[in-house]
Amino acid sequence: LNRRAFLAATAAATFMFSAVSHAQYKDEYTVSTVLPSAFPWGQAADKWVELVKERSEGRINMKIYSNSQLVSGDQTKEFSAMRSGLIDMAVGSTINWSPQVPELNLFSLPFLMPDYAAIDAITQGEAGEAVFAAIKKRGVTPLAWGENGFRELSNSKLMIDEPSDLDGLKIRVVGSPLFQDTFTALGANPTQMSWADAKPALTTGAVDGQENPLSVFDVARIDQVGQKYLTRWHYMADPLVFAISNRVWDQFSAEDQALLQQAAIDAGQWEIEKSRSEVEGILAAIKERGVEVTELTPEQREAFKKATQAVYDKWSSRIGEDLIKQAQDAVANR
């Protein structure tokens, strides 16, 4: 090998090596969330970013954009934006991504999951794997689970403890049409709107009620906009999913992929434990502020479950009958 050929070969090798090992990492990756740091959801994202920065010794930097600002407040567009590469990463609710990933409606089926063990049995088992495969197939790599929480019902008019109490009540619901069906089955008058529009609509009385986890009710001070009655019916809980656009994922080295995923798993576990441990304290604080809270008895809960059975009939083929069966078995055997 003459000197010239040697230099050319080393230059080529150096170029190739750097092209592979640094695969054009961005200086900063965007992370989308709906709720900011005051909420467990935002804290889950904060934790992920912090762990990745620490474990990569500052090589991988992520910046959180909360309040769905990267999709102009429309949280139902977050998944598409990630798929197309407009957003690199997100910690998102299964509800908001369900328009693009129908399987995610599984978690919104009314009264499928009676308690935390039921959520875990689904997410940590075969059904959870099938849901992750469905997300991956649609252009986004899911890394770990977090939790928004059991969604409880509040309203400004009356104490709700049976389905007929919902008669004609205007309820703000989230981005999946499944919620329209659930509340229509209960005789209510549901209106779909983004989180950004929800509080103003409650303030003006454009809607009478809403459903969200207690942590959201508490931090967003939903009691201050006339929501005096709260029904703890645990009708569904939305897990959060830590995820990354497939295009971005493929640019990371295998080592860094593992780092990103382990950090997401650790952040998710931390957030799930933290938010579950805070629920009773939050409930006490809400009561202290004068909100009337009803805890449904098993019999009362059963009446709501019966009244919403039609949602299963309508949605099972869209979600997948096998997936629903897997989830129901997981719950039964928890």
Task: Tell me the β-bridge partners of 38.
Answer: none
Q: Does 75 bind ligand X2X (CB under 6 A)?
A: yes
Q: Does 30 bind ligand X2X (CB under 6 A)?
A: no
CB 119 within 8 A of CB 236: no
Kindly tell me which of 93 and 141 has the beta carbon lying closer to ligand X2X: 93
Stretch that binds ligand X2X, among 7-15, 88-96, 104-112, 183-191 (CB under 6 A): 88-96
Q: Which of 238, 319, 324, 327 binds ligand X2X (CB under 6 A)?
A: 238
Stretch that binds ligand X2X, among 52-60, 92-100, 225-233, 239-247 (CB under 6 A): 92-100
Task: Tell me the β-bridge partners of 210.
Answer: 154, 172
CA distance 273 to 257: 24
Task: Single out the residue of 106, 144, 142, 162 nearest to residue 331, CA to CA.
Answer: 106
Q: Which of 43, 76, 80, 96 binds ligand X2X (CB under 6 A)?
A: 96
CB of 94 to ligand X2X, least distance (A): 8
Could you say which residues in the range 258-317 bind ligand X2X, by CB under 6 A?
A: none
Task: Tell me the β-bridge partners of 32.
Answer: 65, 90
Q: Does 93 bind ligand X2X (CB under 6 A)?
A: yes
Stretch that binds ligand X2X, among 91-99, 102-110, 135-143, 277-285 (CB under 6 A): 91-99
Core vs surface per residue 181-205: b (16+ CB within 10 A) or e: bbbebbebebbbbbbebbbebbeee
Stretch that binds ligand X2X, among 13-21, 93-101, 127-135, 181-189 (CB under 6 A): 93-101
Q: Show the site string, 103-142: x = touches ligand X2X by CB under 6 A, - = not.
A: ----------------------------------------
How many residues make contact with ligand X2X (CB under 6 A)?
A: 12
Kindly tell me which of 208 and 238 has the beta carbon lying closer to ligand X2X: 238
CB 196 within 8 A of CB 73: yes
CA distance 265 to 271: 10
The torsion of the CA quartet 49, 53, 55, 57, rounded to 10 degrees, works out to 180
Kindly tell me which of 241 and 259 has the beta carbon lying closer to ligand X2X: 241
Stretch that binds ligand X2X, among 89-97, 121-129, 178-186, 295-303 (CB under 6 A): 89-97
Q: Which of 148, 154, 227, 231 binds ligand X2X (CB under 6 A)?
A: 148
> How many Cα neighbours within 13 Å face the side chain of 266?
14
Instruction: Match 């869209």 to its residue by tokens.
Output: 318
Query: Residue number with the shortest CB distance to ligand X2X?
Result: 195
Kindly tell me which of 96 and 105 has the beta carbon lying closer to ligand X2X: 96
E strand spans, the chain = 29-32, 62-65, 89-93, 140-155, 170-173, 189-192, 209-213, 229-232, 237-245, 292-295
Rg (CA), the chain: 22
For the chain, helix, strand, coil in percent to 5 are 55, 20, 25
Q: Which of 31, 35, 106, 160 binds ligand X2X (CB under 6 A)?
A: 35
Could you say which residues in the range 179-218 bind ligand X2X, by CB under 6 A?
A: 195, 212, 216
Task: Single out the residue of 148, 152, 287, 275 nearest to residue 223, CA to CA.
Answer: 287
Q: Does 153 bind ligand X2X (CB under 6 A)?
A: no
* Binding stretches for ligand X2X (CB under 6 A): 34-35, 75, 93, 95-96, 148, 174, 195, 212, 216, 238
